[in-house]
Amino acid sequence: MSVKIYTVSELTYEIRDILEGNFYGLWVKGEISGMTRSSTGHVYFDLVDDNATLGCIIFKNKLPFLKVEVKNGKEVTVYGSISLYVKGGKYSLKVEHIQDTGIGKKFFDLEKLKKEFKEKGYFDRKRPIPKYPQKILILTSPTGAAIEDIIKIINRRSFGMEILILPTSVQGDLAKESIVNTLKMTNTIEENIDVVVLARGGGSNEDLWIFNDPDISKALFEVKFPTISAIGHEIDTTLCDYVADKRAETPSAAAEILTKPTENLIEQIRLYREILNHSISRIINFKNQKLKLYSTRNIYSRLIGFIDNKSIYLDRLADLALSNLRKSLNEKERKIYILKDKIKTNSPQTKLGLLKQKVKHLSKSTETSIDTTIKRKGSKLDLLSAKIEYLSPLNILNKGYSITLDKNNKPVKDISYVRIGDTIKTLLKSGELISNVTQINKKGG
């Protein structure tokens, strides 16, 4: 039993016959996505629902007869037939008529998300991107064209930039989990990162739709470093573009944004270098022209004159230096003499001699002061003794007077102090008399 072996063309033609022979005159409902217009004027787009994608084409000659604008996000019902492009091996729906059925659910949900994020302030925070970033972290597929373009542009337009790549799946079933995880991972980096770039090269609208996911957008907003969203083509705008601190139309555009100030600086340095080289060349030419003025006949005399002038100038400099040196030495010598006098004046030996003299003077002065005080106090004491002696009651006894005391040895100043029978004492210069009172005669009695 022989097995039929098809060529690629044979099998493709058979498949085309089956598809085109069985799927014609169809009405298909879906949402327009990834619409593009070719250089020849044909319109290509995808018709999508929640589970599948169908490629569609509207040929240029059909466009004038369509009453509905072909626009991403529209939900439409189209009429057409399946056609297979043999060389590409890809089938598509050849559209002949379109009916508008409203805004597609995906775009409706996206607009709702945009409104919600804007109200929460996710679109308002725009941190500045460093003018001259030194360390860049790129979140993208390490094997994609996007990273190659970024690295190529950065290396060409700048110098000294460190590029770090955090491998991230940006398409397929695992893309969402991978993007969210790598975005969260950036917040665990302790070293300083100047900017984080979330990049993904061009693709269909469906390929890029994942960057409208709210979880990815929130994770991008929470990155602690400044962020750039560089996703798809210039016409593509995703939720991540609104949330990021800056949007770049493409990954290449992100690299140009990061390197533009540095490129301008390099260009400015190049310009200054050209100006400097031009100035140096002009000065050299001027000096060459000036050198030519010296002829072979007078060059020797000019050289001798130049040397003589320099010799005189050196002599004057030497005289001036010698004069300044002498002035400096004299000034130093004067200061030394002043310091010597200060040292001599303030020496311990000199101060000790002065203190000895002061002590000797104070001792002599104190001794004289004490003698004078003693003599003055002695004279005063003699005077007071003489005065006390003169005023002493006992001194009257020497004049022949007497003092009478009562029984209590108190002076009898009046006869009323005694009674008849009292014993009294009479003090005389030579002794005492003891008497008994037998009679009291009052004066005038």
Average per-residue pLDDT in the chain? 83
296 and 250 in a common domain: yes
Contacting residues for 271 by C-beta, under 8 A, at least 6 apart: none
Q: Which helix (H) or strand (E) holds 115?
A: helix 105-119
146 and 99 in a common domain: no
Give the total number of structural domains in the chain: 2
Residue range 298-324: average pLDDT?
71
- 37 in a structural domain: yes
- 204 in a structural domain: yes
Q: Which domain holds residue 77?
A: 8-108
Q: Give residue-wise pLDDT tens across range 239-264.
A: 999 999 999 988 998 998 888 866 56
Residue range 42-70: average pLDDT?
89
Of 310, 327, 344, the residue that ends a domain is: 310
140 and 104 in a common domain: no
pLDDT in the model for residue 188 = 93
pLDDT in the model for residue 203 = 77
- 262 in a structural domain: yes
Lowest mean pLDDT among 3-17, 29-43, 117-131, 268-282: 268-282
Does the pLDDT value for residue 300 go beyond 60? no
pLDDT in the model for residue 71 = 87
Token code pair at residue 431: 């002794």
pLDDT in the model for residue 220 = 95
How far apart CA 200 and CA 223 sit, in angstroms, is 18
Of 279, 310, 341, the residue that ends a domain is: 310
- 197 in a structural domain: yes
pLDDT bracket for residue 305 (50, 70, 90): low
What percentage of the chain reaches a pLDDT higher than 70?
A: 89
Q: What's the CATH code of the domain at 303?
A: 3.40.50.261
Instruction: Say how many residues make up the chain.
Output: 445
- 367 in a structural domain: no
Q: Give residue-wise pLDDT tens across range 96-118.
A: 888 877 666 777 788 889 899 99
Token code pair at residue 374: 């003693």
Residue range 63-82: average pLDDT?
86
Of 280, 310, 340, the residue that ends a domain is: 310
Q: What's the CATH code of the domain at 32?
A: 2.40.50.140
How far apart CA 430 and CA 16 sit, in angstroms, is 183
- 236 in a structural domain: yes
pLDDT bracket for residue 392 (50, 70, 90): low
